[in-house]
Structure 1
Amino acid sequence: MRLAEFILTGMEKILMEWEASAGSLYAPKAQMTSAGLRDHAREILQAVAADLRTGRTAESQSGKSRGPLFPPPGAPETAGRTRSLLRARSGMDINQLASECRALRASVLRLWAEDGDHEPDGESLRDVIRFNEVIDQALCEFMVLFSEQVDRSRHLLLGMLGHDMRSPLSAIALTAEYLAELHAGEDVSEAALCLIQSGGDIKALLDDLVDFNRRSLGLGISIEAAPMDLGAVCASEVGQHRAAHPGSRTELALEGNLQGHWDGPRLRRVLRNLLSNARARGTAGEPVRVTVTGDEKGVCLEVKNTGPAFDPATAQDLFEPMKRGVPAANPACVNGLGLYIVREIAHAHGGKAAVRCQGPETVFSVCLPRASGGTDAGARK
C-alpha cells in the first residue's frame, strides 16, 4: 500500500496517535479541543495525501525542492498553507508548530512501517522523501506567515504608540510651559525646564518610531522640499542643544553657500539625532564640533566627537535600526533608530550618510545635492 492510500484509509488511527502526542503541545499558550485537533489534522492529512498522489516526474520533483516557497496565484491549496492558517488562527507559536510537525511525521511513518502492507522498495522510499518534503514545506510556510503576522502586529503597535502618545505628551509640554511662565520660583522653573526637555526627547523618539514604521511598511520617509538656508537651521538647532545641555560644549562652523532646496524640519531632525548620538558616545568634557560646508555641487554636514573608535568594517551597521555599535557612554540617549533615520532622510533628499574615523574623532557626515525633489526613502536602497 502506498503512503497516500495508507493515510486516507488509516486516518482515524493516525488521528488517535497524533492527538495523544499533540494534545500536550497547546497548553498553556493555545488551547484546542479534541474535536478541533481532529478537524484540523484531518484537513492537513488530506492535503498531504493529495500532494503525494500528484504525479510528478524526477525533473518536476527536483524543481519543487528548489522552487519558490509559495505557489503561484490560483494554485491548489498546499498542506503547508492549510496548516499554517489554521494554526496561526489558533494562537500557536513556531515552537509548538515545529513540535506538532515532529509528532505528525513520527506518527504517520511509524504506523505505516508497522502496517506491513507494503514493500520496502524504491516506490516506498520516494513516498517517504515526498512526505518529508511536504512536512518541511508546511513548516517553512508557517514560519513565513507567522513572521508576517508578527511584523503586521509590530507595525500596528508602533503606529498606535506614535499616535496615541502625542495627545498626553502635548498636555505635558503645555503644562510645563505654563509652569515656566508663572515665575513661581527657581525650583519650579528648573522643574518646568526639565519637563520641557524630557518632553522634547520623547517627541523625538516618537517621530523616529513613526518614520521607522513608515519605512518598514514600504511607505518611505516623505519630504517637502522648499528654499531654505541650512546654516540658519543648523545654528538654531545647535542653539537649542546648548540651552538643553548647558554642561556640554557644542561648536558650530559654517562655510560657503548653504542655500538650497530641502526639507528644513527633516534636516533639523538629522542634526538633532547626530548631536544626541555624539553626546551619548563622546568623551565627557570634550567638545562636539558641527561643520557645515557648501560648494557648487551641494552641502555637507559633519558632526565630530572624540570617543571610542569603531571597526571600519562594520561602519555601515551603525546606520541599521537597533544596532548600537560601540558602547554608548550614556545608553539612555540612544534609541537605536536615530542614525537609521538620519540615513533615510539623507536618501530621501538624494544624498547619503556616512561615518569614518579621523584620528581620535568619529565623524558622521550627511552630504546632499543642492536641490531635492519630494521623494520617498522607500523608493531608494
Structure 2
Amino acid sequence: MRLADFILRDMETILGQWEAFALTLLPAPADMKSLALRDHARQILEAVAKDLSTSQTKEAQLEKSMGRAPRLIGAPETAAQTRAVLRARGGFDINQLAAEYRALRASVLRLWIDACQTEAPHADDVIRFNEAIDQALAESISFFSVQVDQARNLLLGMLGHDMRSPLQTIQMTAVYLSNLNAGDKVSGAASRLIRSGARMQALLGDMLDFNRTKLGLGINIAPTDVDLANLLADELDQLRAAHPERRVELEVEGDSQGVWDGRRLQQLLGNLVTNAIKYGASDAPVRVVMTCGETDVSFEVRNRGPVIDGSSLDRIFDPLQRGLNQVKTYDTDGNLGLGLYIAREIAKAHGGEIAARSDETETVFAVRLPRRK
C-alpha cells in the first residue's frame, strides 16, 4: 500500500496516536481539549498525502529536504504555520513543538509498515514523507519563533514603560534629599541615587528603543527646525564634563540649519563619541568633523586606536555587539551593547545613513543626514 493512500485511509488512527502523545507534553496541554490538540493536524497530513501523490524533480526534492519548498505568491499560511502560532499562544515551548512532529513521523511510519504486512514498503515514499515532515517542521519553527520573539518584545516594552514612573519618583525624591542640606552622608547618598537613577533611565531608554525597532515601529522622532552645530556642541560639552581626562574636538563647516529631532541626534552623537572614548587611544583626541552641503549634512566621529577588522565592521551596528570582537549583553559600565545599533536606527529614522571604516590611521563613524526628510 502506498503511504499517501494509507494516510488518507487511516487518518483517525494516526490522529488518535498524535493526540495521545500531545497529552504527555505537560504542562502546556493540560487544559487543552481534543479539538485544540488536533488543530490543523488533519490538514497537515492531507497536505503530506497530496505531496506524496505529486511528482517532483530532484531539485525540488533537495530544496524540500532542507525546509525550502517554494510557496505560491499570495498563498495563505500553511496548516503547519498556523499550528505553530496556536501552539506558541497555547504555552508550548519549541521542544514540545518539535516533539509533536517527531511523534507524528514515528507513528505514521510504524502504522504504515504494520499495515503493509508482507508487502515491502516503498522506499521512495519513506524518503518523500520525511522531506514533507521536515518542510512542515521548518515552517512551524519559523512561525513559532516569530511569535515568541514578538511576545517577548511586547513584554519587555511594557515592562520598560511601566518602570519609568517609579524610577522618576525615586529620582525626584533623591533630588529633594540632596537639596535638604541634611549633612554630607545624606547628600552623598542622594547623589549616588541620582547617578544610579540616570544610568537606569538610559538603560530603559535603550531597551524601549530596541523593542520599538524589533516590533517594526522604528525609532520615534519629532523633527523641528534646529541648528545642528549648536546641538552637537552642547552634547560634546556634557561628554567632556563626564570624561574630563579626554579631549573631544568639534569642527563645523557651512550652514547647519535643518529639520531634525535634535534630542535624538544628540543621542546619536553621544553614542558614537562614547564608543570612541571607550575603545580609542587615550592619548589622542576624539574629533567630530561636520560638513554642511546644500541638501544634506554630514559629520564624522574620528579616533585613533586599534584597527577594527573587516568581519567586525560588517556587524558592528548589530544589536548586542560590544568591543572589537565580543558579543555581550551587559557590562559594568551599564551598557547593553545597543549604542551603535540605536545610532544607526536614529539615522535611518531621519532618512539618513551611518557607516564605519577603520585602518591603521584612525577609526571613523560617518553620518549623513538630509536637511529635510
TM-score range, shorter chain: 0.7 to 0.9
> 2:289 matched to which residue of 1?
292
Instruction: Calculate the aligned-residue CA RMSD, in Å.
Output: 3.7
Alpha-carbon spacing, 1:160–1:115, altered in 2? closer, same or farther (3 Å)? same
TM-score by length of 2: 0.80
Q: Once the 2 structures are TM-superposed, how far is the Cα of residue 273 of structure 1 from its aligned partner?
A: 1.3
> 2:145 matched to which residue of 1?
147
Partner AA of 1:134 in structure 2: A
Q: Select the residue among 306, 315, 324 that pairs with 1:326.
A: 324
Q: Once the 2 structures are TM-superposed, how far is the Cα of residue 340 of structure 1 from its aligned partner?
A: 0.9
Q: Once the 2 structures are TM-superposed, how far is the Cα of residue 315 of structure 1 from its aligned partner?
A: 0.9
In structure 1, what is the Cα distance between the partners aligned to 2:234 and 2:39?
68
Q: Deviations over 1:21-77 (max 9, x none)?
A: 6665x24x53447x9579735962564146515763447x949946445884568x6
- Percent same amino acid at aligned positions? 46
Q: Deviations over 1:67-119 (max 9, x none)?
A: 445884568x63x2464355334422222222322222122212211222584
In structure 2, what is the Cα distance between the partners aligned to 1:43 and 1:161?
34
In structure 1, what is the Cα distance between the partners aligned to 2:159 and 2:82?
33
Q: Deviations over 1:212-247 (max 9, x none)?
A: 22222222224333332222212222222233444x
In structure 2, what is the Cα distance between the partners aligned to 1:111 and 1:347?
56
TM-score by length of 1: 0.78
Give the stretch that moved more between structures: 345-354 or 300-309: 300-309
Q: How many residues align?
A: 363
Q: Within 5 Å, which residues of 2 pair with 1:162-311?
A: 162-246=160-244, 248-261=245-258, 262-283=260-281, 285-286=282-283, 288-297=285-294, 298-311=296-309
In structure 2, what is the Cα distance between the partners aligned to 1:316 and 1:230?
28
Task: Indicate if the aligned counterparts of 2:203 and 2:334 stay in contact, CA closer than 8 A.
Answer: no
Q: Within 5 Å, which residues of 2 pair with 1:90-169?
A: 90-116=90-116, 119-120=119-120, 124-125=122-123, 127-169=125-167
- Structure 1 gaps, min length 5: 374-381
In structure 2, what is the Cα distance between the partners aligned to 1:287 and 1:195?
33
- Structure 2 gaps, min length 5: none
Task: Indicate if the aligned counterparts of 2:17 and 2:107 stay in contact, CA closer than 8 A.
Answer: yes
In structure 1, what is the Cα distance between the partners aligned to 2:150 and 2:85?
15
Residue 369 of structure 2 aligns to a residue in which SS?
strand
Task: Indicate if the aligned counterparts of 1:323 and 1:336 stay in contact, CA closer than 8 A.
Answer: yes
In structure 1, what is the Cα distance between the partners aligned to 2:83 and 2:111?
21
